[in-house]
Structure 1
Amino acid sequence: MTIVIVGAGIGGLAAALSLHEAGFRDVRIFERVAQLRPLGVGINLLPHAVRELTELRLGDRMAGAGVAPGTLSYFNRFGQQIWSEPRGLAAGYRWPQLSMYRGRLQAELLQAVQERLGEQAVQTGHRLIAVEQRGATGKSPAGTAVAPGPDTAQSDSSANHSGAAEGAVARFATAEGEVGVEAELVVGADGIHSALRRQHYPDEGQPIWNGLTLWRGTATVPAYLDGKTMIMAGDGWQKFVAYPVGPPGRDGRALINFIAERRQADADGDTVDWNRSVDPAPIVDLFADWRFDWLDVPALIAAAPEILEYPMVDRDPLPQWTFGRCTLLGDAAHPMYPNGSNGASQAILDARTLAYHLATAPTIDAGLQAYEADRRPATTALVLSNRRQGPEQVMVLAHERAPRGFRDIDEVFAPGELAEIAAGYKRAAGFHPDALNTRASLTP
C-alpha cells in the first residue's frame, strides 16, 4: 500500500516509523519547509509515549537524548507545595518519563526514518494544496501531474489491503511548480494549521486562544530540589513550569527548560502573535516576587539567552477525522492546551494506533474506521479536560480556596481529593500505570 504522510513533525515521523514497523514499505513524508531544523524548546514524553517508542526499537536512543524526571510537584505562587507525586519508573511504570529538547526528539525520529525507510523518504519543500479522492477506476483528477510511488510489488503486510483501487492524489506546491502524488492513503500530520483539516473544515477559522500567553526558554542555572524534579507553580492567572533537560554538571548547574504563563484581561485572539523572540525584562518583572527557598524564578528567566512567545491555543474537537482515503493525526486532528504535557505523546499514540489497525483490519477503510473509533473519542475528552486545566487544576483550586497561602494543605483539600485529580487525568490520557502496564501491545 502506498501511503503519503503530510508533515515531518513528531506525529508524521512517528507515523512513518510505525507503519514501516507494521510491514508497510511504501511510505513517504512530504514536508512544507525547505529545510528541517531543530525548533522549539523542551518537551515531555510521558510513559505511554515512551512505551510506543521503545516498541519501535528507539528506547535507548530516546533515553540518551533526555532526562528522566522522578518527581512532579505542584506549588502555589508563594512556593508552598500543594501536591507531589513520583513519575516514570518511580511511579511503578515499566517505562520512564523523559524530558528533552523538542528539536532533539524530532532529529532522532528523522534519523531513524532515514535509516529504515531511506534517505529519500522525507521530501521537503512540498506545501499541501489539497487532497483529491481517486475513484475505483484508478483515474486521477484531470489536470494533475501525478508522480507515481516507488515499486510496491514486494510482499508485506499491506498485501491484503491491495484489492481496492480507490485512493487519493495529494497536490503539492513546490519550487518547480505543482505536483500530484498518488497514494492509497494520505495522512494529514501537518499540525495545528493543517491544510488537510482546513480542506474539510474551511469555515473553522483560527485556533482558539484562551487569553494566556506563554514564554518559553532554557537557561543553565543552579539545579533546584533534587535536580530531576518537574515543577509547576501558580494558579489560573499566572503560572511557572520548569524541568531539567540535562543532568547537573560538576558545578551543580543544570540546563532548565521553563514556561512562564500570564493571562491577559483584554485577550484578543485576532491580534495574538505566534512564536516570536521577546525582551525578557517585562517577563522578569511579572515574576519578580517569585523567589522561593528552592528556586529563584526571575533569575532563571533572566538567564535565558532567548525567550519565545506563544499563545495558548487549541481547536474545538472534530466530529470526523477520516474522509475517503485521507485521515488526520496529531495536532492536525486534536490540538490541545499543553496542560498535562500530553500533545506529543498523543501524536505518537495516534501513529501507533493507526499503523496497528491498518495492519490488522481486513481493508484500508475498516482500518481507518477502527483508528478513528479508538482515538477520536479519547482525544476529544482530553482536549476538553485540558480546557479545565487537566491535572493542573490543583493549583487553581488551591488559589481559589487559599489565595494568601496555607499552613497545611490538608486544610485546603478533602482527604484523597488531590490523589483522585491526578489519577483521573492519567486514566483520561491513557497512562494510568495499572492500565498502561497491562494493556496489549500496539505492535501487530
Structure 2
Amino acid sequence: MRVLIAGAGIGGLTAALSLHAAGIDALVVDSAARLGPSGVGINLLPHAVRELTELGLGDALAATAIPTGEMVHFDRHGGRIWGEPRGRALGYHWPQYSVHRGDLQMLLLTAARERLGGAAVREAITLEAFEEAGGEIRARLLDRGDVAAVTADVLVGADGLHSRVRAHLHPGEPPPLWNGIRMWRGVTEAEPFLTGRTLAVAGSNTRAKFVAYPISLRSEVERGRATVNWVAEVRLPEGSPGPAAWDRAGDLDEVLPHFDGWRFDWLDVPALLKATATILQYPMVDRDPLPFWSRGRVTLLGDAAHPMYPIGSNGGSQAILDARVLAYELARAASPAGGLAAYDRARREPVNRIVLANRAMPADRVLHTVAERAPGGFARIEDVLTPAELTEITGAYRRTSFADVEALNTRPSWTAPR
C-alpha cells in the first residue's frame, strides 16, 4: 500500500511514522519552501503522549517538553478560582506535556526522515488536484513550478484549516466560522511562576482572558528560566476576523491596552507582553462538523477534518490520535477504502462531539459569573461560587478532555503489527 499525505504538520508526520511502523509506504508533501520550527506553544494530552511514546519518541519528548503538573483558573485580579492536577497526577500512566510546536514538529520531522528516508518528506510541493480512477489515486503536484504526476493507493488530507482535500470532498463549504474572539500569541523568556509546571488561565473570554504556561525543559535546566507561551484572548464587539493564518503578525499596541494593570503577585502580564519579540494574531475559528471524512481512497486528518477552538488542549492531540487510528485501521483492513471507512467510524463522531463541546465553553461561563459577582476581586472563592458551580468547571474539562483515565490506561495499543 502506498499512502500520499498532503501536509507535514503534527498530524501528517505522525501518520507517516505510524504507517511506516505498520509496514506501509508513505510520502509526505508540504507547500512550505522549508520546514522549520515555526509557531508557538501547544499542550499534548496524555492520550497523545501515549501514542508518541509507542512510536519510540517518549525520551526525545521528555528531553524538551515541560510535564504539566496542574491547570489553574484565576480571575482578572489573579485570585485563584479553581485548580486541578494534570497528567500523571490525575492518574494517567503518561504525562501531559507543554511544548513549543516547532520543537515537536522538528522532532517528528527528524524521526520521519531517519526512519522513512530523506525523500519521504518533501518540501515546496503543492497538491494541485487529484482523482480516484482505476483503483488508485492520481495526484497532480506542483513541485517548485514543475508539474509532477504521482499515484497512490490512499490520499490523506492533513493540510490544515484551508485544506484542498476537504474542499474537494465538501465543495461549497463556507469560510471558517469566527466566534468574535481574537487571539494574540507569543513566546518569551521570564522568571518561572507558581509551581513552574502550571498552566495558568486568568479572566474570561467573555471579555478578556490570558493563558500562560512554560514550554521548554532546556531553558529551565540550563538557565533557570521559563520559556513562557502566552495567549491573549479578547472578544471584539465589531470588526471582521481577517485572514486565519498562523503566521500573521500581531501588534503589541493592539493587545496591550486590554491587559493594562493585569499585574499579579505571580505574573506581570504587561511586562510579559512587552518582552515578546514576535507577536502573532489569529481569529478563534472552527468549522461545522462534517458528515464524513472519508470517501473511497481519500480521507482527512487533523485540522483538515475537525478544526476546533483551542479548549482543553485538543487540537494537536486529536491530530495525533487520528494518525494512529488511521494507520491501525489501514494495516488490518482488507482494502484501502475499507480501512478509511473504519477510521472514519472510529474517529469522526467522537471528535465532532469535542468540536461542539469546545464551542459551548462551559468553563468560561463560570468564570464570567465570577467577574459579574466580584468585579473587584475576592478573598475567598467560596463567597462567590457555590460548590456546584465550582464543580461545573471540572465537569467542563471532563466533557472535552479528561473523562477516561481508566479507559486510556487499560486500552489495547493502536500499534499495528507489521
TM-score of the superposed pair, with normalisation by structure 2: 0.93
Partner of 1:440: 412
Equivalenced residues, count:
413
Aligned to 2:349: 377
Residue 227 of structure 1: how far off its partner (Å): 1.4
Displacement of 1:431 = 5.8
Residue 114 to residue 354, structure 1, CA distance change in 2 (3 Å): same
1:340 corresponding residue in structure 2:
312
Matched, 1:240 2:239: no
1:243-282 alignment runs, 5 A limit: 243-247=213-217, 248=220, 253-269=225-241, 275-282=247-254
Q: Name the amino acid aligned to 1:395.
A: L
Partners of 2:390 and 2:342 lie apart in 1 by: 35
SS in structure 2 opposite 1:90? helix
Checking the alignment, whether the CA contact within 8 Å between 1:214 and 1:311 is kept in structure 2 is yes
1:204-353 matches, within 5 Å, as 204-235=173-204, 236-247=206-217, 248=220, 253-269=225-241, 275-353=247-325
Larger radius of gyration, structure 1 or 2? Answer: 1
Measured against aligned partners, the alpha-carbon deviations of 1:263-284 in whole angstroms (never above 9, x if no partner) come to 1100323577763323323422
Pair 1:193 & 2:130 matched: no
Q: Which amino acid aligns with 1:240?
A: F
Which amino acid letter does the alignment assign opposite residue 357 of structure 1? Answer: E
- 1:87-137 Cα offsets, whole Å, 9 max, x none, are 1112211101111111110000000001111111012221112220113xx
| Matching of residue 22 in structure 1 with residue 50 in structure 2 | no
The range that moved more, 107-116 or 268-277, is 268-277
Q: Which runs of 5+ in 2 are unaligned?
A: none
8 Å CA contact retained: 2:216, 2:227: yes
- 28-37 or 414-423: which moved more? 414-423
Q: Cα gap change, 1:185/1:430 in structure 2, threshold over 3 Å: closer, same or farther?
A: farther
Q: Structure 2 counterpart of 1:66, which letter?
A: A
- Secondary structure, counterpart of 1:12 in structure 2: helix
**Residue aligned with 1:395, SS:** helix
**Is the contact between residue 168 and residue 185 of structure 1 (CA under 8 Å) also seen in structure 2?**
yes
Give the Cα–Cα distance (whole angstroms) in 2 for the partners of residues 357 and 4 of structure 1.
Answer: 16
Bigger mean CA deviation after superposition, 419-428 or 382-391: 419-428
What residue is the counterpart of 2:5 in the other structure? 5
Alpha-carbon distance in 2 for matches of 1:187, 1:251: 42
1:312 and 1:240 map into 2 onto residues whose CA distance is 14
Q: Which amino acid aligns with 2:335?
A: T
Whole-angstrom CA distance in 2 between matches of 1:54 and 1:390: 32
Asked whether the 8 Å contact 2:366–2:389 carries over to 1, the reply is no
247-256 vs 361-370, greater mean Cα deviation: 247-256
For 2:362 and 2:19, locate their aligned partners in 1 and report how far apart those are by CA, in whole Å. Answer: 31
Q: Deviations over 1:266-313 (max 9, x none)?
A: 032357776332332342222112111111111111111111111111
In the alignment, residue 29 of structure 1 is paired with which amino acid?
Answer: V
Partner in structure 1 of residue 89 of structure 2: 90
- For each residue in 1:344-364, what CA deviation from the matched residue of structure 2 results, as whole angstroms up to 9, or x when unmatched? 000000000111111122322
Shift of 1:401: 4.8
1:197 is paired with a residue of what secondary structure?
helix
- Show the counterpart of 2:30: 31
More off after superposition, 353-362 vs 394-403: 394-403
Corresponding position of 1:101: 100
Quick check: 1:361 aligned with 2:333?
Answer: yes
Output one character per residue of 1:171-193: Cα deviation in whole Å (capped at 9) or x when no partner.
Answer: 11222422221111100000001
Worse overlay, 288-297 or 410-419: 410-419
Q: Is the 1:223–1:253 contact (alpha carbons within 8 Å) kept by the matching residues of 2?
A: yes
Q: Deviations over 1:180-212 (max 9, x none)?
A: 211111000000010011112221132111111
Q: Residues 353 and 391 from structure 1, CA distance in 2 versus in 1: closer, same or farther, beyond 3 angstroms?
A: farther
Amino acid at match of 1:221: A
Q: CA, structure 1 residues 424+439, in 2 after alignment: closer, same or farther (shift >3 Å)?
A: farther
In structure 2, distance between residues paired with 1:400 and 1:3: 53
1:167 aligns with 2:136: yes
Percent identity of paired positions between Structure 1 and Structure 2: 51
Deviation string, structure 1 residues 361-417 (Cα, Å, up to 9, x no partner): 232222211111111101111111111126554423433554444443234444354
Q: 1:172 to 1:396 in 2, by over 3 A?
A: farther
- Distance in 2 between residues matched to 1:280 and 1:363, nearest whole Å: 53
Scaled by the length of structure 1, the TM-score of the pair is: 0.88
In structure 1, what is the Cα distance between the partners aligned to 2:369 and 2:150?
A: 52
Q: 2-side partners of 1:291 and 1:298: how far apart?
A: 7
Give the letter for the 1:18 counterpart. S
Aligned pairs for 1:356-435 (under 5 A) are 356-389=328-361, 391-423=363-395, 425-429=397-401, 432-435=404-407
- Number of the residue aligned with 1:162: none
RMSD: 2.0
Structure 1 residues 113-163: Cα deviation after superposition (integer angstroms, max 9, x where no partner): 01111111012221112220113xxxxxxxxxxxxxxxxxxxxxxxxxxxx
Give yes or no for contact 1:281–1:302 (8 Å, CA) kept in 2.
Answer: no
CA distance in structure 2 between the aligned counterparts of 1:303 and 1:284, rounded to whole angstroms: 12
Aligned-residue offset at 1:336: 0.5
Q: Secondary structure at the match of 1:33?
A: coil
Q: Which residue number corresponds to residue 81 of structure 1?
A: 80
